[in-house]
Amino acid sequence: MSNSAVPQGGFAEAGADLELVGITKRFPGFTAIEDLDLRIPAGSFFALLGPSGCGKTTTLRLIAGLEEPTAGRILIGGKDVTSTKAFQRPVNTVFQSYALFPHMTILENVAFGLKRRKVANADALAHEALRLVELDHVSARKPAQLSGGQQQRVALARAVVNRPALLLLDEPLGALDLKLRRQMQIELKDIQDTVGLTFLHVTHDQEEAMTMADTVAVMNKGVIEQMGPPQELYELPRTAFVATFLGQSNLMTGRVVSSGGTSMVVDVAAGQVEVPAERAQRTSGEVVVGIRPEKVTLHASDPGRQTGRNVVGPGRITDVSFSGVSTQYEITSPALGVFTVFAQNTSISRMHHDGDEVWMSWEVGHTFGLADEPSSVSANRFADDTDTSMIATQRREQLEAELEGA
Amino acid sequence: MAFGAFATATTAAEPAARRKSPIALLLLLPGLFYLGLFFLVPLLSLVITSLQEPDPLIFGQYQNAFRWENYVTVLEQYWPQAVRSFGFAAVATLCALLIGFPLAYFIGITLRRWPLLQALALVLVIAPFFISFLLRTIAWKQIFSDEGPVVGFLQSLAILPPGVAITGSAFAVIFGLTYNFIPFMTLPIYTSLERLDLRYVEAGGDLYASPRSTFFRVTLPLAAPGIMSGTLLTFIPAAGDYINASREFLGSTDTAMIGNVIEANFLVLQNFPAAAALSLVLMAAILVLVSVYVKRSGTEDLL
């Protein structure tokens, strides 16, 4: 596809930078996005992750030109496109519903964008794009004759064929079943490597965002809470929202008792927790600290104070669920509430049983200190999250049921 | 909506479950009986009448024969009225489309966010049906009459020369036809547009199509089933209409359509074979025109 140069209207071979400056979007009655600043470098695979209603889809629609921002500017490749209409922007979207034109053949759908821009060999390029997604053999069919997965690939081909500076993906895998999802995730990543465009992927699926994107921005209530490579986000979440939306976390609140040069010590009710200074967002007063469940080791007796390890406990195991590679323990104690631990099932690790009294320990270096006020964490802040995944699951089940029924 | 009935005419129906049940046949019987008695028998009688010849003994009586020359005679005698019928109907259909489509678009798409206003607007489209269309057509005759407000206004602006009437003109007849058939045009198009997924329109914009281009390449093709039903529901009855064009309403002898000629031959001249032959010619012409139209617009491509 390298010969498909489209010199018209700033359409480039490579992707372009996207820059959002102070974007605010208000709808009657609520603010969807509040003063958002975002920079996505050219050629990257960027994921915007958040629960439904967090403003991520609105952000996407603003970039595509389907909504107008209340305030702020949008720059693509350094050019201000804020006041231009959708059809004038070098941006293409893969819609969540695919939105393939039902009255056109697959080929007509894919060639649509090229023909509107009067590209000479539109049909040949469309065939080429269809070959990329391995669907050239269905080019004469109508969208209704294809399966969901095939439609998704056609939608992708229809967007990629235009070689936009920026490709927007609005939960494009939302309606697919798990197996197809995995397959499409790999294909998407391949296509991004092949064509080298800038991808902006919007999703509520944290696993999808982490496996595919170079950079993930976690969005909540119209603001980006944290942004970075997936691993960094997982290992060092800065807010309680990120810590719990991206994987699981055990959060504890306590008062800082000492704050030295390299670390601070927090007095949580069930023991003392040391946090490296560079991993703590706040170093005085009441703070929230956390640890990922798989970093924690269980002990049948109090291991005592050790340098370089944090020890809390005791607590009582209230739930054990064995899942082959690992075992998940739920430990309840009056001081900590519910504490989750994932233990690898290696031959040397011994099983603990329901009702056992245990102590938990982990390396100091894995602890993270959050930026939240303790009061805001204890509040029921994540109700949205469970709702989202539940709705998504239900929708998928409905769609599967429909597919089976058809 | 109940108006869905208009639009389903052109969309492919799901194949029904193949089950031969005697109850289904039993339930069909009244309908078949009705069709046979009130459609097939009159049609046959019309064909027989159209081939009759005058009784040589009693003036005004006709006897059965095979006088196919009747068809040639009526076509020779009344071809201007026939051509005028289809011309008027075509112009009225076009006018109704030009008025009905924006109206349907406004109700079906622009008012989508306000369901109450949408329902109200729909009621307003249907409201004229609460009054007999004869009365409404008479009312237009009053409005267009020589002493009426329209003529007075146009004459005072010197647009209309003195002594020229609006009633009895081709304009008045086409106006009446257009007016009477606007709801039949608007409602099927409305049902198409009401179901139109606006995400297709957004996708059009996303794929570099200007709003104009999106309209002609996405919105209009997706509304085609409605436009199809609307034009057929307007054109077919308009071609055979004899109310608007009659002298008692908006027309004059100069604007007589084929419906008026058939009416005159049946009820005034009592030339039954001529009237029957004309009716059949009208029916055949409409059948041919409509099938060409349906074929040309490629209904098989509509979803």
The answer to whether residue B144 sits within a structural domain is yes
Number of domains in chain B: 1
Sign of the alpha-carbon dihedral angle for B40, B42, B45, B50: negative
Cβ neighbours of B30 (radius 10 Å): 9
The answer to whether residue B63 sits within a structural domain is no
Is A183's pLDDT higher than 90? Answer: no
- Which pLDDT belongs to residue B152? 86
Give the contacts of B47 (CB within 8 A, at least 6 positions apart).
Answer: B276, B280
Q: Which residues of A touch B (CB under 8 A)?
A: 64-66, 85-88, 91-93, 95, 97, 99-103, 112-113, 116-117, 144, 158, 162
Minimal CA–CA distance to A9: which of A76, A66, A63, A60? A76
Is B203 in contact with A86 (Cβ distance < 8 A)? no
Type of residue at B21: S
**pLDDT band, residue B2 (cuts 50/70/90):** very low
Sign of the alpha-carbon dihedral angle for B286, B292, B295, B297: negative
- B302 neighbourhood in chain A, CB within 8 Å: 103
Distance from CA of A405 to the nearest CA of B (A): 14
B30-52 mean pLDDT = 93
Is B202 in contact with A102 (Cβ distance < 8 A)? no
- Which pLDDT belongs to residue A397? 65
Instruction: Write down the H helix ranges in A177-336.
Output: 178-195, 206-212, 230-235, 240-245
Q: Which residue has the higher pLDDT, A394 or B266?
A: B266
The range of the structural domain enclosing residue B291 comes to 86-301
- A65 neighbourhood in chain B, CB within 8 Å: 205-206
Cβ-count burial A144-159 (b if 16+ within 10 Å, e if not): eebebbbbbbbbbbbb
Q: Is B221 on the interface with A (CB under 8 A)?
A: yes
A349 touches A267 (CB < 8 A): no
- Going along A62-183, which residue ranges are E strands? 71-76, 79-80, 91-94, 166-170
Distance from CA of A90 to the nearest CA of B (A): 9
The answer to whether residue B177 sits within a structural domain is yes
How close are the terminal C-alpha atoms of chain B, in Å? 20
Q: Is B302 on the interface with A (CB under 8 A)?
A: yes
Is B9's pLDDT higher than 60? Answer: no
Residue B210 token pair: 């200007």
Q: What pLDDT digit, counting tens, does each position of B91-101 carry?
A: 999 999 999 99
The answer to whether residue B38 sits within a structural domain is no
CA B84 to each of CA A85, B81, B140, B250, B260: distance values in angstroms, whole numbers, following the listed order:
47, 5, 21, 15, 11
Distance from CA of A331 to the nearest CA of B (A): 49
Place of tokens 């590679």: A325
Type of residue at A73: R
d(CA B214, CA B204): 5
Is B4's pLDDT higher than 60? Answer: no
d(CA A246, CA A76): 29
A167-191 mean pLDDT = 80
Q: Which CATH number goes with the domain that contains B93?
A: 1.10.3720.10
d(CA B301, CA A140): 13
CA A293 to each of CA A236, A326, A329, A338, A361: distance values in angstroms, whole numbers, following the listed order:
14, 11, 9, 11, 11
**Out of B199, B213, B302, closest to residue A97 by CB:** B199
A123-134 mean pLDDT = 90
Is B47's pLDDT higher than 80? Answer: yes
Is A353's pLDDT higher than 90? Answer: no
The answer to whether residue B14 sits within a structural domain is no
Q: What pLDDT digit, counting tens, does each position of B161-187 carry?
A: 877 888 889 999 999 999 999 999 999
A32-55 mean pLDDT = 88
Q: Where do the domains of chain A lie?
A: 8-231, 248-369
ipTM of the complex: 0.76
Q: Is B213 on the interface with A (CB under 8 A)?
A: yes
DSSP B298: T
Give the contacts of A357 (CB within 8 A, at least 6 positions apart).
Answer: A300, A314, A315, A316
CATH class, domain A8-231, is alpha beta
The answer to whether residue B24 sits within a structural domain is no
* Residue in B11, B114, B200, B206 to test binding to A, most A beta-carbons within 10 Å: B206
Q: What pLDDT digit, counting tens, does each position of B242-270 carry?
A: 899 988 889 888 888 999 999 999 888 88
The answer to whether residue B278 sits within a structural domain is yes
A191 touches A132 (CB < 8 A): yes
* Residue in A63, A76, A87 to test binding to B, most B beta-carbons within 10 Å: A87
CATH number of A248-369: 2.40.50.100
The answer to whether residue B209 sits within a structural domain is yes
Query: A304 by DSSP, 3-state: which?
Result: coil
A62 touches A33 (CB < 8 A): yes
Is B205 in contact with A85 (Cβ distance < 8 A)? yes
- A99 neighbourhood in chain B, CB within 8 Å: 197, 199-200, 202-203
Give the chain A residue whose CA is nearest to the CA of B220: A103
- Could you tell me whether strands A166-170 and A91-94 are parallel, antiparallel, or unpaired per DSSP bridges? parallel
**Out of B210, B222, B303, closest to residue A87 by CB:** B210
- A163 neighbourhood in chain B, CB within 8 Å: none
- Could you tell me whether strands A166-170 and A198-203 are parallel, antiparallel, or unpaired per DSSP bridges? parallel
d(CA A146, CA A137): 12
Distance from CA of B13 to the nearest CA of A (A): 15
Q: Is B216 on the interface with A (CB under 8 A)?
A: no
Residue B122 token pair: 């729909």
Poorest-pLDDT segment among A158-162, A255-259, B110-114: A255-259
**Distance between alpha carbon A222 and the CA centroid of its chain, in Å?**
15
Cβ neighbours of A173 (radius 10 Å): 24
Q: What pLDDT digit, counting tens, does each position of A291-334 carry?
A: 999 999 888 888 888 888 898 878 899 998 888 888 899 998 88
- Which pLDDT belongs to residue A196? 79
- Which pLDDT belongs to residue B55? 83
Q: Count A/B contacts: CB-CB distance under 8 Å.
A: 67
- Which pLDDT belongs to residue A385? 41
Give the chain B residue whose CA is nearest to the CA of A9: B208
Q: Which residues numbered 69-88 in B keep a CB inside 8 Å of some CB on A? A: none
Residue A240 token pair: 């309680």
* Residue in B11, B197, B200, B208 to test binding to A, most A beta-carbons within 10 Å: B208
Is B206 in contact with A91 (Cβ distance < 8 A)? yes
Give the chain A residue whose CA is nearest to the CA of B224: A103
Is A112 in contact with B221 (Cβ distance < 8 A)? no
Q: What pLDDT digit, counting tens, does each position of A196-214 carry?
A: 788 899 988 888 888 888 8
**Out of B200, B211, B302, closest to residue A101 by CB:** B200
d(CA B166, CA B175): 11
d(CA A388, CA A171): 13
B56-76 mean pLDDT = 85
- A169 neighbourhood in chain B, CB within 8 Å: none
Is A251's pLDDT higher than 50? Answer: yes
- A100 neighbourhood in chain B, CB within 8 Å: 203
Query: B234 by DSSP, 3-state: which?
Result: helix
Is A66 in contact with B202 (Cβ distance < 8 A)? yes
Q: What share of residues in chain B are helix, strand, coil (percent, to 5)?
A: 70, 0, 25
